[in-house]
Structure 1
């Protein structure tokens, strides 16, 4: 039986994170976008929320709570939400499926300073398909030899480790690769339409030798699809937050904006459009929470995670475009955050290719 009523603890987390995001993160959004970089002080503040550290303890690890947190962060700044979600995914995958020796690595993520790490999945090819990866991991004695390129890796040049998803012997494997391993080359930051401060980069793996002990899972038997499903749920939650931010901004704007003798919000087309965006937000949230609940209950989740991600990646583009249009000429100026949210929405929608597979 699924219940979408938040527990008292989840309500506290939601309220606390909402207040933190609006007071500490949202005022920095424009500065981060203009500067194209997230400063260390802000990353430390984000780290202080404890969301990453909570993944280490099995009793504290909750995909539903993670989805709640990422929605609140996404409503303030999608760039910062993905910055922490990237580390969240890496740490969560190891905590959830890693061997005892692999979990020892998590001690490096337990201090008070932000530490970047990422799951490297997307590849720089047109029509990227997660079911057909070009990155290969070939067994060679006690090692795997990793070859390929990964793209759109958050904070790539700052990462201490990558969890690389690759094809191997007809299946997928997840390899824990240190940033300083021989053959790992992090390229220049790619300039993107949105998420500019995320420093999305390309990482090249040139015959990198990875010990077999660093294949995720006890005896290397990890459920790689679960990692992909978790990433899709995290992205869906972030996009839900961004869509909510658009809705919550245009409502007071259209009420105050007088056009042809009356508030813009009273125009039928505008009122119906806002109602459509509201329905999008609610649908995105319920689909995301349903997938997160299945993750937490360890039930089959791939289909639901894919549906949540695909729907969110499509609707966030429509909603942000409609929000921009409702502001008229103001929507295209930096005086309002909607143009920034529109660009971030476009970037978020392609973080796994066109719309996933």
Structure 2
């Protein structure tokens, strides 16, 4: 039976088991990451935590995530737990030429909070950031404000800290968190669709996840060409279905003639009779209003909380300094 979410309120705090932390440490950590990731790594300064991604030479995403600076020579990437080991193995081939090491600390607790964020921040002696992508940290923990219509924060807390969680968050709260990711238009790539999408197909440049002002990184030429020549023919959209069943990641959205025009990236139950989802869809089908279906249920498009246009992370970082 699907998890029923009576409201979108996220109460208390919950462990985000679907995410993991990959640390990059060493004197060359910044230089190494600069050649591998879409972020302008120097912008991750301990106060600004940009979104980023790692690509193949053909520009297809191997992973996406959020980049935090923990210390001068210490960065932390937050990404799907299903990708952390594979990405670490991939990057170690290049890290061997730098004074940098990759560490997956499986004991690190990734904690999500909305209403309960203030209490947790106080117990960790952290200042709760008010702006999306803003980070605050100390010697024991860090917190970053996530983008989206609902105020949410992601904490990185070591296993040694006694968290005020009496039990693992139930399925309702986990599903509510997933629903807010969908409503934020924030798609976390998983191993099911690795090496499948250009970053722009997940609207990554609209979220500030691509720096078009930095130098070369793996896949940069393809990503830049797709942007400047307008060659992106698929885009992430938010939609709903009148159904009690969750479509799987990768499920096809079909026309009446059984032609696939989109595929599901994430889905969450809104209530017992409806589902919200993110899907990468053919832009022509979206623009022409082509009716699409999943197992007989018609797809109804919903709005995203951002425009499909380029947002430079350099501008995001500057706006945080101005607000401060």
- Normalising by the residue count of structure 2, what TM-score does the alignment of the two structures yield? 0.28
Query: Higher helix fraction: Structure 1 or Structure 2?
Result: 1
More strand by share: 2
Q: Which has the larger radius of gyration?
A: 1
Q: Which has the higher contact order (CA 8 A, sep 6+)?
A: 2
